[in-house]
Chains A and B, each alone.
Chain A
């Protein structure tokens, strides 16, 4: 086969964004995707934040098949039989450049792949890349089940475990501490039912996070997002911390328990389960990569470990899309000089540094250490729920002053060594 400009391993958001930007510039690009179509193997909770992406993919996002504009945010702290919910809404979420949409990746990625094809890129599904093609230590293409595909640049976009970034010697394996498992169900409901249950205007949606006793003390939490005519709900659980859970349990049991909680059950009642999926999630924190480039090779998205768990918001998709576009810029520049060596492609890292990706990852580099604190999952939610229970409870005997209940609670929860240590740690987020 003749040498082509760029071959991309993996048709997820990073790979497709890169392909889209390259094809727009008239650069030959081939995306090889293992699944039946782009998106067939991809999972998100999920929601996507549009504003960081606007400079990279301005026209694309206006017509994308997104689900609902998120105008309501909620967080629920789950005690054993009690819970406390914070809900927030703001007109600001409805501004001209919308803030965030719920998204179903199977639909979105498939559509995105078609847009790449419209622009002249090739997206070939059901193809597994088996090896990197190397010459004198440089990457010069890929091998797909025996077929050699020579290319000037190979973009590695093969997701969280990224076997190819490892094969290229750019990173090690994903340690269990930096990985979470996401399990998710999609439940079908009429759009009007969704709007009524969540108190939403047509086309608008809610993002709801849960944490506390639902993960049995493991690092993680629950999520629930309203799509056009479905609800996505599930759990994200830190793998290392889950392995230490006592007594040991299974993730699917936790999901069943989560769905049975009345706080969740009433949202999905009468709905039909239409999809069940699970996926590995890199939790970010300190970067896994020594560098995201090499001779003839760039790494984007989850493969490069571009993801961030900031506690309340978990981000990965914007990082994947934006890093794909930046990789395309670096390839375009390299093509102008005909130099695809590591020193030329290093421009990609310069772009990442100037962008929100590496800056956010730097700002929140310690966030994982803060949010994986087990007390956040097994102590505080129960503690807060117990205080509230006491405040709202009217028993047979005389009632204590509310201020006394609160003060006692605060003393028990925060004014002790463990509590103060946690407060002190929070400054790092």
Chain B
């Protein structure tokens, strides 16, 4: 069972994010981590490989040198190989071109299953996974909370979350599945894994290796552009109600009713 896992290095939830003057871009503090949902996907891939007892897990990402860390985390957890789509022309694109490049890379690999997170923590679009499946012409099932693979029948049975319940689907391999919280508890990479990951060679694919024209990659090939980033609205200042307790309580209740409208 060969499994490809799509991963992304995203800003840590503790990182400071600021909108640049004019709203053209965001500036992120240098604290990055493997996207949480992707770590679920890596974990699930490792479990499926262990259960089936053969095959390999390959982690794939598109990005700059910084993205190598996401791959190394995947290898530290137990992935066998790591591939970086590495070309300046690939940078700055949207979900469409990103998925296209990823699909080009995966097309030439041996794969039975593709796993990814339900969305990335930074842009939360959740589109790349399904788009990759479309480009490859394979089915996809999103927000999976339980995955059972039958390697004999070459099928998967997947539980996915739907409003107010669960939906159980069956699909033939190869298939793309996106991981939702609850699928598993991702392992903390062992120190031996981290040491191995530090020395692992990262396979790099540029535009030529992907057989992609420059017009269909990065900014040039993107179907959409970001016009503007906005800061979230600032919180109103804290109001401290002063005075004698009975009056202050009366005032507080009034404010909660009329101003905050919470009671």
**Which residues of A are at the interface with B, using a C-beta cutoff of 8 A?**
1, 30, 32, 36, 117, 122, 124, 127, 144-145, 147, 149
Contacts and interface: CB of A to CB of B under 8 A. Distances in A.
Given A1-B191, A124-B194, A147-B191, 10 more contacts: A1-B192, A30-B195, A32-B191, A122-B194, A122-B198, A124-B195, A127-B191, A144-B191, A145-B188, A149-B191
Nearest to A122: B195
Contacts of B31: 36
B190 interface: yes
A36 B32 CA distance: 11
Contacts of A149: 191
A249 B23 CA distance: 47
Nearest to B198: A122
20 contacts: A1-B191, A1-B192, A30-B191, A30-B195, A32-B191, A36-B31, A117-B198, A122-B194, A122-B195, A122-B198, A124-B191, A124-B194, A124-B195, A127-B191, A144-B191, A145-B188, A147-B190, A147-B191, A147-B192, A149-B191
Contacts of B195: 30, 122, 124
Contacts of A145: 188
Contacts of A1: 191-192
Contacts of B192: 1, 147
B contact face: mostly helix, strand, loop, or mixed:
helix
Contacts of B188: 145
| 3 residue pairs, one from A and one from B, having the closest CB atoms | A1-B192, A124-B194, A122-B195
A149 B190 CA distance: 10
A32 B192 CA distance: 12
Contacts of B194: 122, 124
Interface in B166-216: 188, 190-192, 194-195, 198
B66 to A, nearest CB: 15
A119 to B, nearest CB: 13
A144 B188 CA distance: 12
Contacts of B191: 1, 30, 32, 124, 127, 144, 147, 149
B263 to A, nearest CB: 38
A149 B192 CA distance: 9
A293 B246 CA distance: 68
Contacts of B190: 147
A127 B195 CA distance: 12
A144 B195 CA distance: 14
A228 B198 CA distance: 32
A138 B26 CA distance: 54
A6 to B, nearest CB: 13
Contacts of A32: 191
Nearest to A149: B191
A149 B191 CA distance: 9
A133 B190 CA distance: 17
B86 to A, nearest CB: 21
Nearest to A7: B191
Contacts of A122: 194-195, 198
Nearest to A120: B199
A90 B191 CA distance: 49
B200 to A, nearest CB: 13
A145 B188 CA distance: 10
A1 B192 CA distance: 7
Most buried by A among B191, B192, B194: B191
Most buried by B among A124, A144, A147: A124
A135 B121 CA distance: 46
